[in-house]
Amino acid sequence: MYGPLWRLLPGRWPVKAFLSFVLAAGVVVLCFLWVFPTIAPLMPFNDNTIQSGSPSSDPTTMAP
Amino acid sequence: MKALRWVVGTIGELLITLGVLVLLFVAWQLWWTDVTANREQAVAIQALERGFTHDSYPTGSSTTPGPAATPAPLATLKNVPFGEAFGIVRIPRFGADYARPVLQGTDHETLGKGVGHYVGTAMPGEIGNFATAGHRTTYGKPYADIDKLRPGDFIVIETKANYMVYAVQRHVIVTPDHVDVIAPVPQHPGATPTEAWMTMTACHPKFSAQQRYVVFSKLMRIFTRAGGLPASFMTVPAGAVG
């Protein structure tokens, strides 16, 4: 997977290393600015409000 | 044999990549959301303060009388659009500089911008329950230290026309389906409200969404912006989080 990518990059090894770093940084930026903010609302630990999952204000049905 | 080596090697690389991405997500969630949200919320506070002081004071607004002991006129906020910031919450226990925007709504996006107001509950200073939600961790964590609040601590809500001072009464820890904590009379759903309460809800324990830490406060005083807020209500209590 990364072997062919390394061979695909042009130039000698310092150039390849630099380009790899740029690619990795690009992936990180893409994740931080777009991917992570998009998937964060789907994460169960990001819900912090009071909601009636089962519609009831009846205290007897509340889970322990 | 060579093909097998290639397959196993590729699966290994994929798993390592996946692990690194998960670690990146954790770093983003726990660190980066605080960095960006703190910056955005500080900017929002400045904009609110400018708006509160520079715009003309709303004259002739509907003045409903506050509780009997506090006759200062309360300019009731009506029809605040979803997602709009309408107030500032200041909590001396959380530090003298603590100030967070209060916005209409409690969805994911709104709570990233500050403290959210449960739509349909009372507005600040009104009879009923001014119910709010805030992040305990991540996204600027406005309610990070909610468990440090003690009975008697002041919570100041600042709006365009008023300062509302609430005093902490008690707290409960409940499961997320306990909607009765944001009822007009907290924990007494169906009862007719005669007092002005404020409810704060946040995640509990920290970094979990299993339960909610809920703090109930009661309205003490209402001041007009023109009259100003007495400094005694902003005194940082001993042992404050700072």
Which two three-digit tokens encode residue B38?
A: 């703190």
CA distance A62 to chain B (A): 7
Q: Determine, for residues B178 and A48 on separate chains, whether the beta-carbon distance falls below 8 Å.
A: no
Please name the residue ranges forming H helices in B28-152.
33-54, 108-111
Give the model's confidence band at A53: pLDDT under 50 very low, under 70 low, under 90 confident, else very high. low
CA distance B181 to chain A (A): 8
Has residue A61 got a pLDDT over 80?
A: no
Structural domain count of chain A = 1
Q: Within a domain: residue A57?
A: no
From A44, A50, A52, residue closest to B212, measured CB to CB: A50
Q: Please give the residue that has the higher pLDDT: either A46 or B5.
A: B5
CATH number of the domain encompassing residue B34: 2.40.260.10
Q: Within a domain: residue B24?
A: no
Contact predicate B196/B122, CB 8 Å: yes
Helix (H, G, I), strand (E, B) or coil at A19: helix
Structural domain count of chain B = 1
Whole-number Cα distances in Å, A30 to A17, A23, A25: 20, 11, 9
Q: What is the pLDDT of residue B71?
A: 53
Q: Within a domain: residue A17?
A: yes
Q: What is the pLDDT of residue A44?
A: 80
Q: Within a domain: residue B3?
A: no
Q: Determine, for residues A45 and B208 on separate chains, whether the beta-carbon distance falls below 8 Å.
A: yes
Reported as a single tens digit per residue, the pLDDT across A23-42 is 999 999 999 999 999 999 88
Beta-bridged to residue B103, according to DSSP, are: B85, B116
The whole model's pTM is what?
Answer: 0.84
Has residue B169 got a pLDDT over 50?
A: yes
Which of A47, A48, A56 to mutate to test binding with chain B, by most B CBs within 10 Å of its CB?
A48
Q: Within a domain: residue B13?
A: no
Q: Within a domain: residue A56?
A: no
Q: Within a domain: residue A63?
A: no
From A1, A48, A50, residue closest to B178, measured CB to CB: A50
Q: Within a domain: residue B206?
A: yes
B172 contacts in chain A (CB < 8 Å): none
Read off the pLDDT of each residue in B58-84 and give the average, rounded to a whole number: 64
Name every residue whose Cβ is closer than 8 Å to that of residue B176 and which is 6 or more positions away in sequence.
A47, A49, A50, A51, A53, B209, B211, B212
Q: Within a domain: residue B239?
A: no
Has residue A21 got a pLDDT over 80?
A: yes
Class of residue B54 by CB neighbours under 10 A (exposed 0-12, middle 13-18, buried 19+): exposed
User: Is B6 at the interface with chain A, CB within 8 A?
Assistant: no
Whole-number Cα distances in Å, B192 to B66, B74, B125, B128, B188: 17, 21, 16, 8, 9
When the pLDDT of each residue in chain B is averaged and rounded to a whole number, the result is 89
Q: Within a domain: residue A64?
A: no
Has residue B162 got a pLDDT over 80?
A: yes
- Domain extent, residue B199, equals 29-234
Q: What is the pLDDT of residue B58?
A: 45
**Dist. CA A36–CA B180, nearest whole Å:** 33
Q: Determine, for residues A53 and B13 on separate chains, whether the beta-carbon distance falls below 8 Å.
A: no
Report the share of chain B in percent with pLDDT over 90: 77
CA distance B117 to chain A (A): 10
Read off the pLDDT of each residue in B135-162 and give the average, rounded to a whole number: 95
Q: Within a domain: residue A54?
A: no
Q: Determine, for residues A50 and B116 on separate chains, whether the beta-carbon distance falls below 8 Å.
A: no
Q: Within a domain: residue B226?
A: yes
Give the model's confidence band at B97: pLDDT under 50 very low, under 70 low, under 90 confident, else very high. very high
Provide the annotated active-site residues of B. 135, 203, 212
Q: What is the pLDDT of residue B59?
A: 43
- Domain extent, residue A15, equals 2-44
* First-residue to last-residue Cα distance in chain A: 49
